[in-house]
Structures are given as structure tokens and as C-alpha cells.
Amino acid sequence: MKAEITRISNGLVVITDPMVQLESAAVGVWVNCGARNETAPLMGVSHMLEHMAFKGTRRRSARDIAEEIEAVGGFLNAYTSREQTAFHARALKVDVPLALDILVDILTEPTFDPTELDRERQVVLQEIGQAFDTPDEIIFDHLQTVAYPDQPMGWPILGEEKTVSAFGRDDLFTYMGANYRAGAMTLISSGAVAHQDLVRIAEDKFAKLVPGEPQTPLPARYVGGEMRVPGDLEQAHIAIAFPGVSALDPDYYVSQVYVTALGGGMSSRLFQEARERRGLCYSIYAFANSSNDSGIVGVYTGTGENEAAEIGAVVAGEMAALAETATEAEVARAKAQLKSSLLMGLERPSTRAEMIAGHIYNYGRVLPVEELTAKLDSIDAAAVRRFGALMMVSESPAIVTVGPARKFERYDLFAERFGSKARMRAAE
């Protein structure tokens, strides 16, 4: 990626990532504001605002917004994370000005019509209910809550029924006014858009954005603990996490290689041991999620009620084995998987734009592909073993089970496999 960056007069950052071979472009605005910026009474307001932005402006109805972009074969979408809210479009290069006009309209002139808000409130409540009906989805909301209790980092992005039912139109306008400022936004295009053309459009259409910098969210504070959610399900869903590293930590890329070797594919240790050798589960994988000030490393599996009794020991055993015996061959496979995923993703303009947004948020610059691959290439088996050893002495894991998981071992027994007691056993 050879991105060009300009900050226009009101503080909005404009970035283009040329892909001259394309006839289209992905364009979007990333706002440095998400669930972490909320207060408890407004839990879920970022996500509701994302929905309501498409429900009408001073110039366009909700139907107009949909029909105008689809009339040229393009599409609009949005998403909310804990740290950012994104509004993005894909269109042919000749129609990029229209896509941008719609984007700036929904970001600067929304009406938040009360009737539309009441209707969309019901949609979001249905979305929350659907998440609870999807155990392999809701378990990660619960895991975040257990890892980061009583703080915005642990709150569900969708909010809770009581908060979504309570906040109103004025709350949306107040929240938007405090957070949707030019200095908190990045306009990104990846594809067939010239940099000066995008800057010119930005100076024209986005000039109405109020200057101002993003608000700093409260620091994340990992705690850990346990949550068990019984349910009449066929499978026991189990998620386990430990304190990880932030996206700014020197070990960030080591953590990615570590979880890929542990549970990132069919050749990974967890897949081979838990599924292939023992037949304990259909799905098992490891993950590492990082923000710019915190992170978790964990494992998810869906297993049978009886098999749940064995899975904790298998996870702990494979983590211990990787910390002691990670080989150059498996680390090379993990690095190849990560590099392949990175390079294949760069073939898609939407993926490139989202990657750029993450880089700007975390690092304040766009990391060249060569730098990313070099970081991965520099990691060897010794680094993975070192990181694995750190995981084995982690205190206070976060554990969540959903469904018939009463046979999964007690929290204190599982935790004894790690932390200070693990250190004492290693010293014996």
C-alpha cells in the first residue's frame, strides 16, 4: 500500500490508497468513537446512532438513501466496534462523488426522526435477542464482560435491553455532537480515486464538520473471572481467555503467530489433539484480540456435555506443550498463514480501507506491507515459546460457558494450571 495522507483545514484526515487496475473504489469514514466512549446509561448508543444515520437526513429519506446508491449499482453499509464506528460505500469510480455526498449527508444532517427511532429501537432489540439465540456469538460478549467487568471495554456493543429502550433522540444528537468531530474522523478511499480529487471533495463536502479532536476512552483494566450460562443446547460452548498484549506492544505479532500455531488451522496443536486425535469437538480455535491499550488471548470450542469434562485439560496441556516445544516448522506454517491472509486481503479494496483505518487509529500512520511481513518474518520458535511461557503464568483467566457445560472443570482447578501455582510446579 502506498497511501497518500492529507489533513484538511477542519482537521479531517483524508487518505487514498490507489488501485489503478480497478474500475471502482471503496470509500468510507471511520469515526474514532465506539462502545468504549459510552456511559452506562447510554450503553449501545454508538450502535443505535450507526443504524439511525441511514434513517433519513434533511435532504434524503431513508428510502432515498437506499435508492440513490443502488440506482448506480453501489452499496452502503456501516458497523460499530468498541473503538470505532465506520460508514462505508462501494461504487464505480464515476459514482464515488455520489457515495461521498450520501456519506457526508448522513454524518452531518441526520434527523433522527422519533418515529424512525422507535421503529429502529425494536430492530435493535430483535438484534440483541438474536445474539442471545446464537451461543457461539453471545459467548464472546460474555467473555468480554468477564475479562473487563464494570467498564466500557466490557460492555456489549449492541447495548442492553434496558438502555436501548430508554435513550431518545436528544441523546443521539448530544452523543454525536460530542464525538463526531472532524479531528476524530478519517476519510479513506481504496481503489480508483485520485488523491487530489478526494481532497477536493473533502474540502467541499466535509467542510461542515465541526473541528475537534476525539475523546479519549477510559483505560481498559483486565480482571478475569467466570460466568456460566446454562441452557438447553446440544453443545457446550466454552471460551477461555488470558491477559494478552495491546496492538502497540512489541509482542503483538508474536501473539498472532502464537495463537495461529496453537489453534489457527487444521494443522494447529489444538485442532490435531482435541478434534483429530480425541474427537472431543467439531470446532476449536485460538484467538488474540488487541486494542491500543489492552488485549486478550484465548480459546473457543463447542463440545459435547460429557466431552466438556476433558477439554480444559487438553487446552491447558497444549498451551503448556507449545510453550515448551514450539518448533521452527510449525512457526513457519503459522507465519505463512498470517502472511497469506494479509496479502490476499490486500486484493480487496474494502479490506485495504479497513486495514488503513486500524493503522491510523493504533499507530497514527499506515504501515507498509513490507514492514508488516518483516515483523512476521522476524519471529522464531524461541519467541513463540517465550510468549507461551508468559501465558502459562497468567493469573485470573476469564472463562465463560454457555449450555450444558456443568462437567467443565471448576474455575479454581483450571486456574491452578496457570499463574503462581504453575510457576511452583515448574520449579519442583
In order of 132, 224, 249, 390, the CA distances from 375 in angstroms are 39, 30, 12, 20
Is residue 50 part of the annotated active site? The answer reads: yes
Handedness of CA 166, 41, 45, 288 (dihedral sign): negative
Look at residues 51, 29, 83 and name the one whose alpha carbon lies nearest to residue 167.
51
Q: Are 46 and 33 in contact (CB under 8 A)?
A: yes
Burial of 419: CB neighbours in 10 Å, binned 0-12, 13-18, 19+: middle
* Total length of the chain: 428
Burial of 252: CB neighbours in 10 Å, binned 0-12, 13-18, 19+: middle
Q: Are 37 and 46 in contact (CB under 8 A)?
A: yes
Task: Determine how many CB atoms are found less than 10 A away from the CB of residue 402.
Answer: 25
Name the catalytic one among 4, 23, 38, 50.
50
Query: Burial letters for 99-129: b for 16+ Cβ neighbours within 10 Å, e otherwise?
Result: bbebbbbbbbebbbbeebbeebbeebbeebe
Q: Residue 57 phi/psi, 5° resolution?
A: -125, -175
Pairwise CA distance, residues 212 & 89, whole Å: 25
Pairwise CA distance, residues 76 & 108, whole Å: 16
Task: Determine how many CB atoms are found less than 10 A away from the CB of residue 400.
Answer: 27
Q: Are 122 and 395 in contact (CB under 8 A)?
A: no
Q: Active-site residue numbers?
A: 50
